[in-house]
Amino acid sequence: MSDSTHNFISIVVPAYNEEACLPLLAQVIEQTFSTTQWDYEVIIVNDGSTDRTGPILDSLASQDPRVRGLHLARNFGHQAAMLAGLSESRGQAVITMDADLEQPPSVILEMLERWKNGAQIVHGVRQDHPSTGWWKRTSSRWFYKVLRFLSRIPIEPGMLDFRLYDRTVADALLSMPEADFFLRGLSVWVGFAQVRLPYRASKRVAGRTKFHTRAMFAFALRGITSFTTFPLRLATYLGLLMTLVSLGFGTYVGIRHFFWEHPQPGYASTILLIAFLMGVQFLLIGLLGEYVGRIHLEVKHRPRFLVARRTSRKPQ
C-alpha cells in the first residue's frame, strides 16, 4: 500500500435538517486539514431533510471535489444514515461525526495519531460542554450504565458516534446483515484494538438538537434490546418471584382464616395488588412485543436505507 493511499481518509457526517451547519462544517474541516499530509473525503448523508440541507449539500459538492453528497430517499434515522456513509467510504480510516460541530474536527488529528500507533477503533469520549442541560447529562449517563450492566459490553458514558474505524473494522461492520443496526454498541462488540480519546464538547453552532426526550427513549430502548435478552430473563425471574410471594401470602391467609378465625378485611389492598400485577403483566407483554417486533423487522430483509441520488464533482 502506497503512502498516498494510506493517508487517504473518509469523514462520514449524517445530516438531518442541518442547513445552517453544513457550510461551516466544510470550512472547519478544510482548515483543520489544510496544513497536514492527510488527503480526505467528506461524505455528508442527507437523511431525508425537509429544509435546505439538500441544495446546500449539492452546492458544497459542486465547489469542492472532496465533498460528496449522499441523499437518502427518506428519513431512515441517524444510525441508518451513518451506515449509508460507511458503505460509501473509501478511506483506509473512516471517521464518523455529527454535523453540528459539537464534536471538534481538530480532535480527528489526535484520532489519526492513535490510529497510526496501532489502534483500529478510536472512541471519542465526550466531556459535556458547561451549557449542556442537567436532564441530557443525567439521562445519557444512566442509559450507558444500564446498557453496560445488562449487556456486559464495556461501553461508557460519552461514547457517542464520534469515532475512527480502521478499514478492516469498517468492512466488518458493513458485513453484518442485521436490520436493527446499533452502531454504538457494535463498535465495542466487534473487538479489535480499541482506545478511548476524551475530548471537550463544543457548543452546537446552529439549529436545534434532534434528540428530544421521546427520541432519546426510543434510541435507548433500541440499544438495550439490540444487545441483550436480559430483560426477558428478568421477566422470568420476576414471574417466579411473584408466584412465590403469592403462594406465601395465600398460605398465610389460609392459616389465619382457619386457625385464628379473624375476619379478613382488605378490599383496598386486594384491588391494589391486582392492579399492580396487571401492570406488571402489561409491562412484560410490551417488553416481549419489543423483541418480537425486532424479529419481524429482521425476517423481512428490507434494505436499511435507500439512496435517492449522489452528488459530487470530479477533481479537474
* Per-residue pLDDT tens digits for 117-126: 999 999 888 8
**What residue ranges do the domains of the chain occupy?**
3-228+307-311, 230-300
Q: What pLDDT is recorded for position 231? A: 67
Q: What pLDDT is recorded for position 1? A: 40
* Per-residue pLDDT tens digits for 125-173: 887 656 656 666 676 666 666 666 665 666 677 778 889 999 999 999 8
Annotate 42-94 with three-state secondary structure.
Answer: EEEEECCCCCCHHHHHHHHHHHCCCEEEEEECCCCCHHHHHHHHHHHCCCCEE
CA distance readout (Å), 111 to 89, 94, 228: 17, 10, 30
* Per-residue pLDDT tens digits for 287-300: 676 677 667 666 76
Tell which residue, 90, 72, 92, has the closest CA to residue 14: 72
* Per-residue pLDDT tens digits for 206-262: 656 555 556 565 655 665 666 666 666 666 666 667 666 766 766 666 666 666 665
pTM of the model: 0.68
Q: What pLDDT is recorded for position 95? A: 94
312 burial (CB, 10 Å; 0-12 / 13-18 / 19+) is middle
Q: What pLDDT is recorded for position 122? A: 93
- Assess if CATH 3.90.550.10 describes domain 3-228+307-311: yes
Q: What pLDDT is recorded for position 112? A: 93
* Per-residue pLDDT tens digits for 63-88: 888 999 999 999 888 888 989 999 89
Q: What pLDDT is recorded for position 72? A: 93
As a whole number, mean pLDDT of residues 53-62 equals: 89
Q: Residue 92: is its pLDDT beyond 80?
A: yes
Rounded (10°) CA dihedral 227, 103, 95, 180: 20
* Per-residue pLDDT tens digits for 4-27: 556 899 999 999 888 888 888 888
- How much of the chain, in percent, has pLDDT values that exceed 70? 59
Q: Residue 114: is its pLDDT beyond 80?
A: yes
Q: Residue 201: is its pLDDT beyond 80?
A: no
> What phi and psi, each to the nearest 5 degrees, are found at residue 71?
-105, 115
Cross-strand pairs, 122:
164, 195
Q: What pLDDT is recorded for position 202? A: 76
Q: What pLDDT is recorded for position 3? A: 47
Q: Are the CB atoms for 136 and 210 separated by under 8 Å?
A: no
Q: Residue 52: is its pLDDT beyond 50?
A: yes
